[in-house]
Structure 1
Amino acid sequence: MFITRPVVSRLFQQTVRRYHDNHFKAPSMDELPVPRGSWQAHHDAKQRKYNAVLLLGIAFSAGTLVIAKASGLIYLNYSPPKSLD
């Protein structure tokens, strides 16, 4: 009975967390990086990369679908079956 009292009181005790020491200096705007170069050129380069990845994904998906259809692994149900058998 007496052993549980310190354990329970420690569970309900509020703790204070300090994530920095006494020499902490608040960040300022001077520490932010300075932009360099043309944002439009950077944007265009990123868009070319993203479009290439998109086209590669579409081509891979279409190729996979064509190969699966040609090998007979899937039936896409274009139309009703010719017979019920």
Structure 2
Amino acid sequence: MILLGLVDRCDAHMNELPVPCGPWDIWYSDKQSYYNKVLAIGTFWFLFSLGMMIYTDSLFLNFGPPAQPAPPSDMIEECEDLDS
């Protein structure tokens, strides 16, 4: 016969949590150094890519008015509205 109310189990408590011991500054500095290098390389690559897109005119950002003015009005044919 199995008694459902009497189950041997160990509830979790604070004594089972891992406690940091030893010098952690070295590990933390190494991780932060790696993350900073990845951030710097990613930032450089993004700026390089953006610069190349602007340089090769692959990306037009509409910074100002167009370089060439519109054609004179005597060169443009007027559209006639067709009334139905």
Report if TM-score (shorter chain) is over 0.5. Answer: yes
Q: TM-score, normalised by structure 1?
A: 0.58
Q: Which has the higher helix share?
A: 1
Tell me if 1:32 matches 2:43.
no
Correspondence 1:45 to 2:30: yes
Find the residue that maps to 2:65 and give its secondary structure.
coil
Query: TM-score under structure 2 normalisation?
Result: 0.58
Q: CA deviation at 1:55?
A: 0.6
How big is the shift at 1:60? 1.3
CA RMSD of aligned residues (A): 2.2
Pairwise CA distance, 1:84: 3.1
**What is the aligned partner in structure 2 of residue 72 from structure 1?**
57
Identity over aligned pairs, percent: 31
Cα deviation digits, residues 25-71 of structure 1 (max 9, x gap): 11233322231332322221221122112111101111211221222
The residue type equivalent to 2:33 in the other structure is R
* Amino acid corresponding to residue 64 of structure 1 in structure 2: S
Pair 1:56-2:41 in alignment:
yes
Question: Structure 2: which 5+ residue stretches go unaligned?
Answer: 1-5, 71-84
Which of 1 and 2 has greater Rg? Answer: 2
